[in-house]
């Protein structure tokens, strides 16, 4: 039963060496040169047709290239895909397993060795490429030759007949093949002028042991030199199929910047349900911070993960509430030392699931968006009887133009538990990928908002300060306000020897004075608690930082760059003796008075708070209970925030 031989997925029949069978080729092998009328067979082609045997038929397609080819066999509606890669010497066979209505792809890999036959698709049935003059490694077979054998008519078309007799060494079979090509001088096919169209191949073969087989290839489609896109799509393994131990032929993206921001849209696809979530992620390995904004319906929440202090801040912008807790092991990489568990931040490579724990291999180039071509990698790992599969799409080409650097486009994560029916897929699309963004403002402003929401009653102290910038020559540096603001922020952190996230909400007022600029900003204190990190960062307190800043300003050494006319830079300095501590929020732990730069902070519970700024008076009455309620107002260019019942500020 020759038909039954075709359903084998792995072709492992090895035959002992036998002499060429004279019954198949009575006149011996046909030797070079080829008949001059024999059509040139290119080194790339696609053939689709019907393979007819004595006891049945099946559909077959071969896509042939220099060092790769793919054979699709369709038997009783089931497609078996066979991939031969002679650059890596691998053979892959892929099929689909149906389990309780769920389609599960299966892939088997076998190394190609000298003992592994690659000329056949089953038993002694040859691949079309072998019948067209190529050898087992997709190289030109120099022992293959043809002779012209007359003309005939098939389905009304004038046809040239050719014949070949040759020997296939890896399966040790003698072959007599007859070819039917359209006559290019009597019929012009869709291939163009003087191009022959392959219609049929009749094959008779016999092994040295006397096993005979005859079959026919009825060609439905013959396409020489397919386009690169056509060839690539047919030669590459399909999406979502992981082949264990497959050779990786292209390295994953690496050398990511230390800072990154990106928008994502995630769909969790289950059997009877799909959920969609959107978020914005900001990652900074230098600051040891991650910020994630979640958007769902009308809700918006913002999470800050501070791996320097081990704290997790959850801020709700709509109601200005903040919750603080210790970092959990799930949001980082956990280690244990002396029975204590510590958490460290994942690198960007680890956050993108590109770590060495997962075995990835390159599957090729696929269309991943409108006019976008992507490099695709697929990886898999198993943890606690749960299989996790990751399929990454990275853009490499847009509208036919190569990108300078690859960009993340999509990630498919398929989770398969022991009960395969509970399998589900998480599809994440990436938008607005930005390497090396300005992460400081995205993190420090939220941290300051959390400090305001929590307040000194919970130990989250902060201050509002102001200083003046000397600009006697009147340079219009305020027209490049972002440039100036960023440089001030960097200089504050550099001069104070602390993280930039301690400073935020920088407001530069250029209307208060004809020449000078006034800078108002918020400075947060150290947190009152620390989480499970091995070396928590304990920086100087706000009082010490205010004293340091006052010292460098008064010494006329607090300087930074400004820019005007887009390209011209100027060095600016803070005006000596201009630093003012407008507000210092702190908890009344002791009854004493500390003077900081002519600002009096009194740690007493007051029933009346009076703030006087340039004849603007605000009176607020509170109960004896200390509250975290605060009022903000802007008056004559000054930004003042008052925590009721906590402090008294008096102009000295």
Instruction: Tell me the average pLDDT across 497-507.
Output: 92
Please check whether residues 173 and 284 belong to one and the same domain: no
Please check whether residues 471 and 381 belong to one and the same domain: no
For position 109, which CATH number holds? 2.50.20
Instruction: Tell me the average pLDDT across 182-190.
Output: 83
Res 19: pLDDT: 60
CA nearest to 276, candidates 290, 293, 297? 297
Instruction: Tell me the average pLDDT across 236-251.
Output: 94
Please check whether residues 287 and 359 belong to one and the same domain: yes
**Is it the case that residue 117 has pLDDT exceeding 60?**
yes
Res 588: pLDDT: 56
**441 located within any domain:** no
**445 located within any domain:** no
Please check whether residues 44 and 193 belong to one and the same domain: yes
pLDDT in tens, 362-393: 999 999 988 999 999 999 998 888 999 999 99
Res 101: pLDDT: 73
The residue range of the domain holding 404 is 259-435
Res 587: pLDDT: 63
**Is it the case that residue 515 has pLDDT exceeding 60?**
yes
**80 located within any domain:** yes
**69 located within any domain:** yes
Res 372: pLDDT: 93
Are 140 and 64 spatial neighbours (Cβ–Cβ below 8 Å)? no
Res 192: pLDDT: 72
Q: What total of structural domains would you count in the chain?
A: 3
Please check whether residues 534 and 615 belong to one and the same domain: yes
Axis-axis angle for helices 542-554, 481-496 (nearest 10)? 110
Q: Where in 271-371 does DSSP place strands (E)? A: 274-284, 289-296, 299-306, 311-316, 321-326, 333-337, 340-344, 359-369
Res 138: pLDDT: 96
Question: Which distant-in-sequence residues (6+ apart) come within 8 Å of 454 by Cβ?
Answer: 322, 324, 460, 628
Please check whether residues 88 and 205 belong to one and the same domain: yes
Are 85 and 101 spatial neighbours (Cβ–Cβ below 8 Å)? no
Please check whether residues 211 and 89 belong to one and the same domain: yes
Please check whether residues 528 and 588 belong to one and the same domain: yes
For residues 178 and 38, give the distance between their C-alpha atoms in angstroms, rounded to a whole number: 12
For residues 347 and 284, give the distance between their C-alpha atoms in angstroms, rounded to a whole number: 9
**651 located within any domain:** no
**243 located within any domain:** no
Please check whether residues 56 and 91 belong to one and the same domain: yes
**Domain boundary at 203, 235, 267, which?**
235
**Domain boundary at 201, 235, 269, which?**
235
The DSSP call for residue 247 is P
Q: How confident is the model at residue 21 (pLDDT cuts 50, 70, 90)?
A: confident
Instruction: Tell me the average pLDDT across 342-346.
Output: 93
Q: Tokens standing for 357?
A: 């724990």
Q: How confident is the model at residue 619 (pLDDT cuts 50, 70, 90)?
A: very low
Instruction: Tell me the average pLDDT across 582-597.
Output: 57
**Domain boundary at 435, 460, 492, which?**
435
More confident position, 298 or 64:
64
Please check whether residues 210 and 266 belong to one and the same domain: no
Please check whether residues 18 and 49 belong to one and the same domain: yes
**345 located within any domain:** yes
Please check whether residues 462 and 431 belong to one and the same domain: no
**307 located within any domain:** yes
């Amino acid at each position: 039963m020759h038909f039954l031989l075709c359903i084998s997925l792995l072709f492992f029949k090895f035959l002992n060496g036998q002499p060429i069978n004279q019954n198949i080729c009575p006149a011996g092998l046909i030797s070079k040169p080829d008949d001059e009328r024999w059509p040139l067979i290119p080194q790339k082609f696609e053939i689709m047709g019907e393979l007819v045997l004595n006891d049945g038929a099946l559909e077959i397609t071969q896509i042939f290239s220099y060092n790769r080819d793919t054979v699709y066999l369709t038997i009783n509606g089931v497609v078996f895909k066979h991939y031969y890669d002679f650059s890596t010497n691998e053979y892959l066979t892929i099929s689909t397993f149906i389990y309780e209505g769920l389609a599960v792809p299966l892939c088997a890999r076998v190394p190609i060795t000298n003992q592994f036959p690659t000329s056949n698709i089953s038993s002694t049935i040859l691949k079309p490429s072998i019948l067209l003059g190529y050898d087992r490694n997709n190289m030109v077979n120099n022992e293959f030759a043809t002779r012209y054998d007359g003309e005939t008519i098939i389905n009304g078309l004038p046809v040239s007949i050719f014949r070949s007799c040759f020997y296939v060494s890896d399966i040790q079979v003698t072959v007599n093949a007859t070819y039917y090509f359209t006559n290019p001088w009597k019929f012009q096919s869709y291939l163009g002028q003087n191009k022959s169209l392959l219609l049929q191949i009749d094959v008779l073969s016999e092994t040295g042991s006397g096993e005979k087989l005859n079959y026919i290839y009825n060609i439905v489609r013959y396409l020489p030199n397919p386009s690169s896109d056509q060839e690539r799509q047919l030669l590459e393994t399909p999406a979502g199929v992981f082949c264990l131990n497959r050779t990786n032929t292209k390295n994953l993206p690496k050398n990511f910047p230390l800072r990154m921001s990106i928008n994502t849209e995630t769909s969790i696809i289950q059997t009877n349900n799909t959920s969609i979530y959107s978020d914005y992620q900001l990652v900074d390995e230098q600051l040891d911070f991650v910020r994630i904004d979640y958007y769902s319906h009308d809700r918006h929440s913002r999470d800050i993960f501070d791996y320097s202090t081990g704290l997790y801040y959850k801020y709700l912008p709509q109601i200005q509430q903040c919750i603080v807790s210790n970092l959990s092991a799930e949001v980082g990489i956990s280690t244990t030392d002396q029975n204590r568990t510590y958490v460290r931040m994942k690198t960007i490579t680890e956050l993108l699931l590109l770590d060495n724990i997962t075995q990835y291999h390159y599957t090729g180039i696929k269309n991943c968006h409108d006019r976008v071509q992507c490099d695709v990698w697929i990886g898999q790992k198993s943890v606690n009887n749960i299989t996790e599969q990751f399929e990454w799409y990275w853009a490499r080409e847009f509208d036919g133009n190569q990108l300078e650097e690859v960009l993340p486009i999509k990630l498919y994560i398929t989770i398969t538990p022991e009960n395969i029916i509970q399998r589900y897929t998480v599809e994440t699309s990436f938008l607005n990928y930005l390497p090396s963004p300005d992460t400081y403002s995205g993190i420090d402003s939220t941290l300051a908002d959390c400090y305001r929401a929590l307040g000194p009653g919970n130990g989250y102290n902060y201050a509002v300060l102001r200083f003046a910038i000397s600009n006697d020559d009147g340079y219009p540096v305020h027209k490049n306000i972002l440039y100036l603001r960023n440089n001030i922020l960097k200089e504050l952190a550099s001069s104070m020897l602390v993280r930039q996230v301690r400073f935020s909400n920088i407001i530069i007022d250029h209307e208060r004075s004809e020449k000078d600029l006034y800078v108002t900003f918020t400075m947060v204190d150290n947190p009152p608690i620390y989480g499970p990190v091995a070396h928590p960062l304990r920086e100087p307190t706000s009082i010490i930082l205010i004293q340091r800043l006052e010292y460098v300003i008064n010494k006329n050494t607090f300087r930074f760059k400004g820019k005007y006319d887009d390209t011209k830079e100027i060095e600016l300095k803070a005006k000596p003796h201009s630093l003012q501590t407008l507000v210092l929020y702190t908890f009344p732990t002791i009854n004493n008075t500390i003077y900081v730069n002519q600002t009096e902070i009194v740690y007493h519970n007051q029933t009346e708070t009076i703030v006087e700024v340039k004849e603007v008076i605000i009176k607020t009455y509170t109960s004896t209970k200390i509250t975290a309620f605060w009022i903000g107002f802007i008056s004559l260019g000054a930004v003042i925030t008052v925590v009721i019942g906590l402090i008294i500020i008096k102009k000295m």
